[in-house]
Amino acid sequence: MPILDEIKKFDINKCLRENFHLNKNPFTPKELFSDGLTADEVKTHDRVFQGRKEIVESIITGIRAGDSYKSVLYGSKGVGKSSILNLCLYALSNDYITIKIRILKEDVNEKVFQKKILRAVATALTSRILKTDGLNLESIRKKIQQFFKPGAVKELDATAALAFLFSSDQVTYEESTQDKEAINLHLGPVPIGFTMKSEYVNAAKTMTSYAHIPETDLMRILKSAHKLTWEFGFKGIVLGIDDGDKLNDAELERMLLNLLKGMFYADAKYHLMVVCARDVIELDVKDLFSDNFISPLSKDDVLRALNEMYKSESVGEKEIYDFFDKEVLAELYEESNGLMRDAVILCGECIKKACSEKKERIDKDVFNSVRVREEAAAAVKLMTMNHISTEYKVVTYLMENKEGYSSDENFQKSVGVIQSRLTQILRELENKGVLKSRKEKRRRVYFLKGGIEEVLKY
């Protein structure tokens, strides 16, 4: 059959159903407990989540027991830090205003990040007010009117609270038709039902109009936001910051110091969780954070999670053990090094490879054909053609010694480069899929990725 006709005829969904009893391939990398899940999806994620119960309980207890709990989650990429953050935010979302922000490179700019957080917190609070059961339009009006009632709060605090509301996407205003010096406030589609003098509105708008909000104004805005949070029955505000890996050590430290100084000062009643690859214990902010190292999962936990993922798309209550050889699952765990994301990717590739070859089982032949990426194999083969290259010396050293790290003087002498250059080469080879690594205290240990040794031999 001509190749184009064969490609058109191939139906991977049919193969998944007939060969593996699956509605679709369940092995796609994703964060657990992300926003927008259905009730059934939450139950599935709850079953897939394995092995981190004590860490989650410790963080949630720390938040519920105090006014300003700060925690950092750190560990290797793909180990599950973001899923832990998501679960903590999800578990607290009934009683707290929870916000997740992903770091962007421009967030190293204090002015940009400060306003980004303020807007996120304000939008989250006003959105939750509109969605909260038992809060009808009339009760929302009464609570806000009561909060801004003359004498209820100081004039400056009322202005700060108004500035906070104006930071939200949900709050708008219009000029009063009855009083030219007043405005009418709206919370989403809800007319709040009272007017405020334009001078207060202008002062509030001015407060947040600066490129950099003055520290005293920012503190006043955040304190008034906390009071509003309590007014509507929430226990506090929890902010999760993800993707700290996008910043280098200096940028991460600067971002955390700016946050702690400007928004999460000593008596600020906010909770903060930060996800990054490095331990902030080496930074100047170490004493202000609860330290949580997220280690790779055990073999049993990884296999239980993979099985729950398989069952979530299975037809007829089939399990992963019905289609994956036990030896393959054991090697798959070793290959992934306990990192859930890598294990999921490997499983997904195995399923796709088996379907393309019209197989009904994942055996060692299927697994070995996907464990070494084409670019990794090509990179290694290129090295074997140039035995004097530094990269070849690095790979052969690791083949003979099983593992190594850049600060090892014997490794440096064998390869013929200084530590900084060796570190660079090791990282490049890991990015190409030739090496894998694990962190041991402050040292990163590198070793050959499974299947690479076979490529070297042939």
**pLDDT tens sequence across 342-364:** 899 899 989 988 988 889 999 98
According to the model, what pLDDT value does residue 7 have?
46
Is 134 in the same domain as 208? yes
The CATH number for 388's domain is 1.10.10.10
pLDDT score of 178: 67
Are residues 343 and 392 both part of a single domain?
no
Rounded Cα–Cα distance for residues 416 and 163 (Å): 61
Mean local confidence (pLDDT), 142-169: 76
290 and 62 Cβ atoms separated by less than 8 Å: yes
Pair 384, 444 in one domain: yes
Buried b (16+ CB within 10 A) or exposed e, 413-444: ebbebeeeebbebbeebeebbbbbbbbeeeeb
d(CA 342, CA 348): 10
- Amino acid 21: pLDDT: 93
Nearest to 222 by CA among 118, 89, 97: 118
Q: Which of 371, 399, 428 is the last residue before a domain boundary?
A: 371
Question: In the chain, pLDDT over 90 holds for what percent of residues?
Answer: 26
Last residue of a domain, one of 320, 353, 371: 371
Report if pTM > 0.85.
no
| pLDDT for the residue numbered 129 | 81
The domain boundary residue, chosen from 352, 371, 390: 371
Residue range 403-417: average pLDDT?
Answer: 92
Which of 4-8, 278-282, 403-407, 441-445 has the least mean pLDDT?
4-8
In a domain, 249, yes or no: no
pLDDT value at 289 more than 50: yes
Token digits of residue 348: 């997904």
Residues 143 and 162 in one domain: yes
Query: Residue 143 falls within a domain, yes or no?
Result: yes
| Whether residue 312 sits in one domain with residue 400 | no
pLDDT in tens, 52-90: 899 999 999 999 998 888 888 988 888 899 999 999 999
> Could you tell me if residue 38 is inside a domain?
no
- pLDDT for the residue 195: 61
Mean pLDDT of 228-257: 81
Contact of 305 with 340, CB cutoff 8 Å: yes
171-189, pLDDT tens digit by residue? 777 766 666 656 677 777 6
Percent of the chain with pLDDT over 70: 81
**Does residue 117 belong to any structural domain of this protein?**
no
Same structural domain for residues 363 and 419? no
pLDDT confidence band for 267 (50 / 70 / 90): low
pLDDT at 456: 62
Could you tell me whether strands 70-74 and 270-276 are parallel, antiparallel, or unpaired per DSSP bridges?
Answer: parallel
Contact (Cβ atoms closer than 8 angstroms) between residue 155 and residue 196: no
H/E stretch holding 185 reads strand 182-187
CA-CA-CA-CA dihedral for 355, 359, 364, 365, to nearest 10: -80
Q: Is residue 107 part of a domain?
A: no
Residue 217 shares a structural domain with residue 147: yes
Q: Which pLDDT tens digit goes with each residue over 189-240?
A: 666 655 666 677 777 777 777 667 777 778 888 888 888 888 888 888 999 9
Tell me which of 23-32, 85-94, 157-166 is least confident.
Answer: 157-166
Residue 211 tokens read as: 């490129």
pLDDT for res 104 = 78
Please indicate, yes or no, if residue 93 is contained in any of the structural domains.
Answer: no
Residue 43 in this model has a pLDDT that exceeds 80: yes
Angle, vertex CA 299, rays to CA 297 and CA 301, nearest 5: 60
Query: What CATH number is attached to the domain comprising 314?
Result: 1.10.8
Q: Of 104-113, 191-200, 364-373, which gets the smallest average pLDDT?
A: 191-200
**More confidently predicted of 367 and 246:** 367
- The whole-number average pLDDT for the span 98-116 is 79
Q: Are residues 450 and 363 in the same domain?
A: no
Strand (E) or helix (H) holding 40: helix 39-48
> Closest by alpha carbon to 148, among 189, 183, 96?
183
- Other beta carbons within 10 angstroms of residue 184's beta carbon come to 18
pLDDT of residue 56: 93
CB-based contacts of 110, cutoff 8 Å, min separation 6:
212, 254, 255, 258, 262
pLDDT at 6: 47
Q: Which of 12-21, 102-111, 316-325, 379-388 has the lowest mean pLDDT?
A: 379-388
The pLDDT value recorded for residue 176 is 64
Instruction: Tokens 């119960």: give the residue.
Output: 53
Cα gap 84→364, rounded to integer Å: 33
**Angle, to 10 degrees, between the axis of helix 53-65 and the axis of helix 81-92?**
40
What six digits make up the tokens of 259? 């946050």
Could you give the number of structural domains in the chain? 3
Q: Considering the domain boundaries, does residue 232 fall inside one?
A: no
Lowest-confidence pick of 62-76, 123-137, 399-413: 123-137
> Within this chain, do residues 379 and 416 fall inside the same structural domain, yes or no?
yes
The bridge status of strand 443-448 relative to strand 171-175 is unpaired
* pLDDT at residue 4, as a whole number: 45
Residue 195's DSSP bridge partners are: 184
Contact yes or no for 428/375 (Cβ under 8 A): no
Q: How far is CA 29 from the centre of its chain?
A: 12
**Is residue 242 domain-resident?**
no
Query: What SS3 class is residue 193?
Result: strand
410 and 445, same domain (yes or no): yes
Segment 240-246 shows an average pLDDT of 82
Alpha helices in 151-271 (DSSP H): 155-166, 198-207, 215-231, 249-262
3-state secondary structure of 392: helix
Give the domain extent around 133: 124-221
pLDDT in the model for residue 113? 79
Burial class (CB in 10 A: 0-12, 13-18, 19+), 203: middle
> Mean pLDDT for the chain?
81
